[in-house]
Amino acid sequence: MEEYPGKVVEIIDYPSSQSIKARTIKIAVPETVSFAPGQFVMVANQSVKNKSFPDKLKWASMSVANAPSEKGIIELGMDMGEEGGIRHFVCTKLKVGDEMILKGPMGNFVCKDEPHQPVLIALGTGITPIISMARHTLETWPNTKVDLFYSLKTSEIYLFKDSLEKLAAQHPLFAMNVTVTREDNSWNGLRGRIQEHLKTYDFGDKTKRIFYLCGSPKGVTEIISVIKELGFSDDQIKKEQW
Ligand SMILES: Cc1cc2nc3c(=O)[nH]c(=O)nc-3n(C[C@H](O)[C@H](O)[C@H](O)COP(=O)(O)OP(=O)(O)OC[C@H]3O[C@@H](n4cnc5c(N)ncnc54)[C@H](O)[C@@H]3O)c2cc1C
């Protein structure tokens, strides 16, 4: 697969004022790069080598967070990760103006390209493909009902907070259900696991809904069993997990 260069043009830190736990970054790439909402790219940096093959680069899969209509930009979001990996490098060393190397896009976890009513479910950094789907759907069908369930450990790692709040302000049918699962005195919103909130949620016409889930395998599996208990079928459920 062909590699292409990218230049970092924006970095947002989470939390913004204490020690960084996660980052979102925008990378300028050739205008010819195009992707579907939900797909991922492989990213590398010249200074991060593969431990087993030190003359080779270390590559990491990262879902694309922006909408496909934003040409020439790939937006990513990640937590810190362990030392020696790409996420750790990005969160500790990367600066605006630095070069990254990319491959792709690839992946089959993509949003249906016809009018429907997505229920988007993100666990932590699983928000990356999910926000791409939200942006794309609301941009293409602005009057579509879109429900987001987004679980955070704490509010200081609320990736894409400003972008999501802006989307919600622009689209009255975009419902955000952001929940925090750990002790956090600064949070005034929902608490506890997504499963519990799904059980009492009004999905409207259930036949129109398609669920897209992204997050840890355990969390995704548990949530899917609740979705099925609620009467949704397998072909209404699409997932990505890592
Ligand atoms: C489709 C897909 C999309 C994804 N999207 C995202 C996303 O949007 N955001 C996100 O945060 N995560 C995402 N992930 C998860 C991410 O790709 C993994 O967590 C990946 O491992 C991150 O790579 P890394 O280099 O940061 O860390 P790791 O690969 O976990 O490396 C961390 C540690 O392992 C060591 N290590 C790595 N390779 C070797 C080796 N060969 N031998 C010995 N030690 C080694 C490293 O030195 C380092 O210490 C996605 C995964 C998939 C499959």
pLDDT at 1: 87
Assess whether 146 and 175 both reside in one domain. yes
Mean pLDDT by 10 residues, the chain (242 residues): 96 90 98 98 97 96 98 98 97 97 98 93 98 97 96 96 97 97 93 97 96 98 98 98 96
Cα separation, 178 vs 42, whole angstroms: 28
- Among the candidates 106, 141, 161, a domain finishes at 106
CA of 241 to the centre of ligand 1 (A): 13
Our count of domains for the chain comes to 2
Q: Can you give the pLDDT at residue 199?
A: 97
Q: Whose CA is nearest to atom 16 of ligand 1?
A: 61
Q: Identify whether 234 is part of a domain.
A: yes
> Which pLDDT does position 119 carry in this prediction?
98
Domain that holds residue 13: 3-106
Establish whether residue 61 lines the binding site of ligand 1, counting it when its CB lies within 6 angstroms of any ligand atom.
Answer: yes
Q: Say if residue 10 is in the same domain as residue 57.
A: yes
Q: What is the pLDDT of residue 46?
A: 97
Q: What letter represents residue 22's amino acid?
A: A
What is each CA distance from 53 to 41, 59, 71, 85, 102, in whole angstroms? Answer: 21, 12, 34, 14, 19
Distance from residue 152's CA to the centre of ligand 1 (Å): 20
Where is 127: in which H helix or E strand? helix 127-140
Q: Is residue 175 part of a domain?
A: yes
- Within a domain: 112: no
Cα–Cα distance, 14 to 156 (Å, whole number): 6
Q: Is residue 90 domain-shared with residue 135, that is, in the same domain?
A: no
Q: How far is the CA of 201 from the centre of ligand 1 (A)?
A: 34
Candidate of 25, 40, 106 to mutate for ligand 1, largest count of ligand atoms within 8 Å of Cβ: 40
What does the pLDDT read at residue 78? 98
Identify the domain boundary among 69, 85, 106: 106
Please tell me if the CB atom of residue 83 comes closer than 6 angstroms to any atom of ligand 1: yes
**What per-residue confidence (pLDDT) applies to 12?**
97
Residue 155 and residue 102 share a domain: no
Q: Which of 106, 131, 164 is the last residue of a domain?
A: 106
